[in-house]
Amino acid sequence: MTLLAPWFLAAGAAAAALTVLLHFLARERPPVLLLPTTRFVPDHPARAPSRAMRPSDLLLLALRAAALLLAGLALAQPRLVSPKAALARIVLVERSRAVARPAAALDSARAWLRDGDALLAFDSAGHVLAAESPVAAPDRWTGRGSLTGGLVAALRAAAALAARAESVELVLVSPLVRESWDAATPAVRAEWHGAMRLVRVAAAEPRAGAVVVAGAAGDDPVAATLALLGAGAGAATPAVRIRRGVAELSGDDSAFAAAGGALVLWPDDPGGVGDTVGAIVAPGSAAGAEAVVVAPLVRHPGGAPGSGAVVAVWADGVPAASERPLGAGCVRRVAVAPPAASDLALTPAWRGLVERLAAPCGGARDLAPLPDAARAVLAGAGGAMPLARLERRAGFPPLSAWLLLAAAVALLAETLVRRPRA
């Protein structure tokens, strides 16, 4: 057994010892003597402290001392622990679209594992993998990675290891690219009080496929904007297919998305009324800031389904474009129709919005390596993280609660046993 706050037990023992000493001072009524006169005797109860050879009220003494000792032991937070290993290890592997070869990344992660270590994988959040059973790796992962989500999962796993290890080492297997880093990453990294071993794996190559627009008229504003952007110029394989004026998938569209392409269903006939909110917003990504368009746009009456990932919203929060996965790719539905006769395609805001709506699945990719300063923040300094800190955060141990209950019972019994004093 170990005590997280042993000074509370010392204080309880000192209080119990003081109680025992006080019980050696007996305040008893003196023996009655017959006096010839009583006019010189004060009219109040006569008591005088005296030292006794044995403590008085042994049962009361036992109850009071037991209550103090039990309370001190409870506040000392005892924990029943088994022998701990000196060092445990958490291996954190990124399974996102930024990884070039998933099988190689998993092999690198397993090479660091030992008996009793934890294996975690993360994309936008962390997931526990079975360290002893092999996991089949796909040809590629499609989710977007988040170092913040992975570090949060590692902190939770470290708290679970506190009962069987003195310290823990973190190994990060990742391509270490910009899109996995966000504004919260440094703050979450600071919660890991130790160094981190960085194992860099190959990053995926940016997909340079073309953006193909099908069913567009000659003066289509979406096609005109993409032409100004030069989207996919010189690429032989289309990565994004935009279907104008189509609301349902064809068999060819489904096959295109299932093979890893991004299929965008974008109506060209408004069929609704002009928007009165006045703006549409596409949230920013690692590749750039958010795009905000204020223009006389028209909401499609069908709207964008809210069940998928929201890509763009109207200013009142209603989804203007959403995306859901299909096979290795995705289907993106856009519920905003630009005005046909307008110079909107020339504005930077509209071009930024179209660039996001015509991006590959999961949004624009930023697969550039992390700068040296960010990698230094991840690596940190020092050695393995001591787990005693996390053990103190685990809350009041159950054994302490039972000890406090026993102390309360002892105090209640002391109240009942205490003799009335005259």
- Averaging pLDDT over each range in 129-138, 149-158, 227-236, which range is the top one? 149-158
Question: What is the pLDDT confidence band of residue 392, given thresholds at 50, 70 and 90?
Answer: low
DSSP classification of residue 203: B
Q: What is the mean pLDDT of residues 166-173?
A: 91
Instruction: Name the DSSP class of 350.
Output: H
**Burial, 124: exposed, middle or buried (Cβ in 10 Å; 0-12, 13-18, 19+)?**
middle
Confidence label for 287 from pLDDT (cuts 50, 70 and 90): very low
Which residues are paired to 127 by β-bridges? 121
Give the whole-angstrom CA distance, residue 60 versus residue 410: 10
Sign of the dihedral through C-alpha 302, 304, 307, 308: positive
In angstroms, the first-to-last Cα distance of the chain is: 46
From CA 327, how far away is CA 314, in angstroms rounded? 28
The pTM for the full model equals 0.61
pLDDT(376) > 70: yes
**More confident call, 381 vs 27:** 381
| pLDDT at residue 379, as a whole number | 92
Exposure of 177 in the CB half-sphere (CA atoms within 13 A): 26
What is the pLDDT, as a whole number, of residue 377? Answer: 93
231 with 210: CB under 8 angstroms?
yes
pLDDT of residue 372: 93
Contact 215, 243 (CB under 8 A): yes
Per-residue pLDDT tens over the stretch 396-413: 567 788 888 888 888 888
Per-residue pLDDT band at 373 (split at 50, 70, 90) = very high
- The closest of 266, 361, 241, 244 to 320, measured between CA atoms, is 266
Which of the four pLDDT bands, split at 50, 70 and 90, describes residue 284?
low
Which has more pLDDT, 52 or 58?
A: 58
pLDDT for 298: 77
Q: Can you tell me the mean pLDDT for 14-29?
A: 74
Tens digit of pLDDT for each residue in 61-105? 888 888 888 888 888 877 766 666 778 899 999 988 889 898 899
Provide the pLDDT confidence category of residue 309 given band limits of 50, 70 and 90. confident
Domains of the chain in sequence order: 2-30+45-77+402-417 (no CATH), 85-205+368-392 (3.40.50), 210-357 (no CATH)
Q: Among 349, 208, 207, which residue's Cα sits nearest to residue 282?
A: 349
Distances in whole angstroms, Cα of residue 161 to Cα of each of 3, 86, 87, 94, 385: 18, 11, 10, 21, 12
User: Higher confidence at residue 181 or residue 128?
Assistant: 181
pLDDT higher than 70, residue 236: no
The pLDDT-based confidence of 169 (bands split at 50, 70, 90) is very high
What percentage of the chain carries pLDDT values higher than 90?
12
Burial of 360 (C-beta count, 10 Å sphere; 0-12/13-18/19+): buried
**pLDDT of 207:** 66
What is the residue-averaged pLDDT of the chain?
A: 78
The answer on pLDDT for 422 being more than 50 is no
Average pLDDT, integer, range 8-20: 84
pLDDT of residue 77: 77
